[in-house]
């Protein structure tokens, strides 16, 4: 089952360590991010794909939750959030830099095709450092120094899966489901026949803003539409998208059927245009 979505707000702790000395982080600033980019995936997947890990200036650490192995899968991805202490933020920034994010290390390019790159981003003292690693986890044809440099980054990413073990439970905060402040809804006309041998999907009425919405600027798929749901309409849209709604559910608006994809917006995103930036 998919985990219900709730909001976890960052709270000020009078006993927390003093804030970082750079003074540059705003609440929605990306302090640390790990994401997968490119590879052999459908073009629309590049629009809805979420970063694996995102740490923000106010301490929110947002990560994807495990998804149930079932087809058709849930239409709404689950996210979790922790509130990392200022001391924990400082630790993560330094650990990222120590792992080689932003360094000039030669990471090589393995002899494999159609595998995504892993992109690491870290911000310290107003400076943004980024490192892209092609086909992380594959070492075919690489030198030993290249393998060693890639392993530091791979080990860092693996440790992020256990944040309390990485920076201490007191610094990591409690993990809770994340409720977005806005939801991007990508709409296409429904043109899929019921798959052979599978249970036909029941229609579902769409309770949100009018479909299909405006054209998505910079879309990799011609004719893709996207609308942003906020405010009073957001809870209704999240409820409609929640399990047992799945990726094959046809939504109906004014007698027309639509295939909808849902992408929770993160704190540094405000609308559909952010999905193709």
Is the residue at 163 inside a domain?
A: yes
Res. 18: pLDDT tops 70: no
- Domain match, 47 and 141 both: yes
- Domain match, 64 and 133 both: yes
Counted domains in the chain = 2
Say how far apart CA 97 and CA 10 lie, in whole Å.
25
Say how far apart CA 29 and CA 40 lie, in whole Å.
30
Given this model, what pLDDT does residue 144 score? 97
The closest of 61, 38, 62 to 119, measured between CA atoms, is: 38
- Domain match, 198 and 272 both: yes
**Token pair belonging to 144:** 């030993």
Q: Which long-range contacts (CB under 8 A, 24 or more apart) does 99-104 make?
A: 99/152, 99/153, 99/155, 99/156, 100/131, 100/149, 100/152, 100/153, 101/129, 101/130, 101/131, 101/153, 101/156, 102/129, 102/130, 102/131, 103/131, 103/149
- Domain match, 58 and 172 both: yes
Q: How far is CA 182 from the centre of its chain?
A: 14
Alpha helices in 178-241, H assignment, sequence order: 233-241
pLDDT per residue over 148-199, tens digit each?
999 999 999 999 999 999 999 999 999 999 999 999 999 988 876 555 556 6
Task: List the beta bridge partners of residue 260.
Answer: 187
Say how far apart CA 242 and CA 6 lie, in whole Å.
12
Is the residue at 23 inside a domain?
A: no
Domain boundary among 162, 177, 192: 177
Domain boundary among 153, 177, 201: 177
Is the residue at 11 inside a domain?
A: no
Given this model, what pLDDT does residue 10 score? 36
- Domain match, 172 and 195 both: no
Is the residue at 207 inside a domain?
A: yes
- Domain match, 129 and 225 both: no
- Domain match, 56 and 94 both: yes
- Domain match, 149 and 204 both: no
Given this model, what pLDDT does residue 11 score? 37
Is the residue at 145 inside a domain?
A: yes
Residue 72 burial (CB count, 10 A): 15
Res. 140: pLDDT tops 70: yes
Res. 14: pLDDT tops 50: no
CB 247 within 8 A of CB 74: yes
Res. 72: pLDDT tops 90: no
Is the residue at 22 inside a domain?
A: no
CB 31 within 8 A of CB 266: no
- Domain match, 54 and 189 both: no
Given this model, what pLDDT does residue 1 score? 34
Is the residue at 103 inside a domain?
A: yes
For the chain, how long is the longest CA-to-CA vector? 61
- Domain match, 162 and 49 both: yes
Q: Which residue segment(s) compose the domain that 165 sits in?
A: 30-177
- Domain match, 54 and 112 both: yes
Given this model, what pLDDT does residue 196 score? 52
**Token pair belonging to 106:** 């030669």
Identify the CATH number of the domain in which residue 72 sits.
3.30.1560.10
pLDDT per residue over 74-91, tens digit each?
999 999 999 999 999 999
Strands 225-229 and 204-205: unpaired
pTM (predicted TM-score)? 0.86
- Domain match, 53 and 173 both: yes
């Amino acid at each position: 089952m998919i985990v219900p979505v709730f909001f976890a707000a960052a709270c000020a702790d009078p006993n927390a360590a003093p804030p970082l000395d750079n003074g540059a982080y705003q609440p929605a600033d990306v302090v640390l991010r790990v994401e997968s980019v490119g590879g052999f995936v459908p073009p629309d997947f590049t629009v809805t794909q979420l970063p694996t890990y995102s740490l923000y200036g106010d301490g929110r650490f947002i990560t994807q939750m495990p998804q149930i192995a079932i087809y058709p899968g849930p239409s709404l991805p689950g996210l979790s959030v922790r509130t990392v202490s200022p001391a924990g933020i400082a630790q993560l920034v330094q650990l990222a830099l120590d792992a080689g994010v932003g360094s000039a290390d030669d990471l090589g390019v393995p002899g494999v095709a159609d595998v995504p790159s892993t992109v690491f981003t870290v911000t310290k003292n107003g400076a943004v450092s980024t490192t892209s690693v092609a086909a992380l986890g594959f070492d075919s044809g690489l030198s030993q120094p290249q393998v060693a440099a890639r392993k530091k980054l791979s080990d860092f990413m693996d440790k992020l899966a256990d944040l309390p073990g990485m920076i201490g439970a007191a610094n990591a905060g409690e993990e809770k489901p994340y409720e977005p402040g806005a939801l991007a809804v990508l709409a296409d006309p429904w043109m899929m026949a019921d798959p052979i041998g599978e249970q036909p999907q029941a229609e579902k009425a769409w309770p949100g803003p009018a479909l299909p919405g405006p054209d998505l600027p910079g879309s990799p798929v011609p004719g893709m539409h996207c609308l942003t749901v906020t405010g009073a309409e957001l809870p209704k849209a999240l409820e409609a998208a929640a399990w047992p709604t799945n990726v094959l559910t046809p939504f109906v608006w004014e007698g027309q059927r639509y295939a909808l994809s849902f992408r929770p917006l993160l704190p540094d995103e405000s609308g559909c245009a952010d999905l193709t930036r």
